[in-house]
Amino acid sequence: MRIVVLTKPVPDPAAAAERLGPDNRLDRAASPAVINGNDEYVLEAALKLVEAHGGEVVLLSMAPATGPETMRKGLAMGAHRGVHVTDPALAGSDAWTTARVLAAALGEMEYDLVLAGFDTSDGTAGVVGAGVATLLKLPYLSSAAQIEPDPKAGTVRVRRISATGFDVLEAPMPALIVGTQLLGEPRYPSLKGIMGARSKEIATRSIADLGLDATGVGIAASRTEVASKRTPPQRGDAIVVRGSAEEAATAIVDLLTERRLL
């Protein structure tokens, strides 16, 4: 099986230092970059599928010039190689441009499955996967909790989370799947994996390589604009209750009564 995993470098959410710059665009210098957390879950699923069925996992990322630094972690987890789409003209690209660029990159790759994470921690849009699938006319299977390909039949089954449980979806491959964290915890890279990642290939593609026009991407083509930003009002300090269970329960009931919640 050939699986392409879409990955994105994002400001490390654990640092909680994400901010917008004076131009109201994401200030990438403010935080260290890491692989988007949800991408690691689909990468883990891809690695398990290739371990079971054989094949190759390729990381595909549209990212600034520093992209390969974050991609190394995915390679250390076990991905075989990477494709890094980078170009100064791509800075400030929105979800729609990102989808078009990734679709163009996929156009010159071979794959049975394309996997994408549920959303990214910086933009939280979660629409790029659907956009790519639509552009490439690939079957689109989203909110996946489980992925079961049948390479002989050339089909894939996905358990999609529904409002009341799960829907079992089935489609022919190639297909694009957006996964959730229910796929299972990502592995930590082993020391051997980290060492091996250094020599794995990361191919670089510019937008000209992909046959795209520089005026149709980046800030110039972005459809949205942040007009203002503010810090949300903080809750006042919490009332701290210590004491017996009985006293604590009384304090809760009193607050509920005061706020007319009973």
Residues 148-167 that bind another protein (CB under 8 A): 157, 159-167
Interface residue with another protein among 65, 153, 168, 195 (CB under 8 A) is: 168
Nearer to another protein, 107 or 172 (CB): 172
- Report in angstroms the alpha-carbon separations of 99 from 30, 103, 105, 259: 25, 6, 10, 47
CA neighbor of 8 nearest in space, from 47, 66, 88: 66
> Smallest gap, in angstroms, from Cβ of residue 81 to another protein?
27
Point out which residues pair with 147 in neighbouring strands.
Answer: 158
Residue among 198 and 246 whose Cβ is closer to another protein: 246
118 binds another protein per the rule CB under 8 A: yes
What is the footprint of another protein within residues 176-195 (CB under 8 A)?
180-182
Residues contacting residue 145 through CB under 8 Å, at least 6 positions apart: 159, 160, 161, 166, 180, 182, 183
Q: Hey, which residues between 22 and 41 contact another protein (CB under 8 A)?
A: 24, 38
Residues 236-255 that bind another protein (CB under 8 A): 236, 238-243, 245-246, 248-253, 255
41 in helix, strand or coil? helix
Nearest CA-CA partner of 149 in 115, 118, 116: 115
Q: Report the residue number, 82 or 121, with the smaller CB distance to another protein.
A: 121
Q: Looking at 2, 56, 127, 193, which residue binds another protein (CB under 8 A)? A: 127
**Smallest distance, Å, CB 49 to another protein?**
19
Positions in 207-226 near another protein (CB under 8 A): 222-226
8 A C-beta contact, residue 136 and residue 104: no
Sign of the torsion angle spanned by Cα atoms 229, 231, 233, 235? positive
- Which residues are within 8 A (CB) of 101 and not within 5 positions of it... i.e. 6 or more apart? 62, 85, 90, 93, 207, 210, 212, 217
Q: Which stretch binds another protein (CB under 8 A): 70-78, 85-93, 142-150, 197-205?
A: 142-150
Q: Which of 5, 13, 91, 208 binds another protein (CB under 8 A)?
A: 13
Residue 113 and residue 4: Cα distance in Å, rounded? 6
Given the complex with another protein, which of 191 and 262 has the nearer CB atom? 262
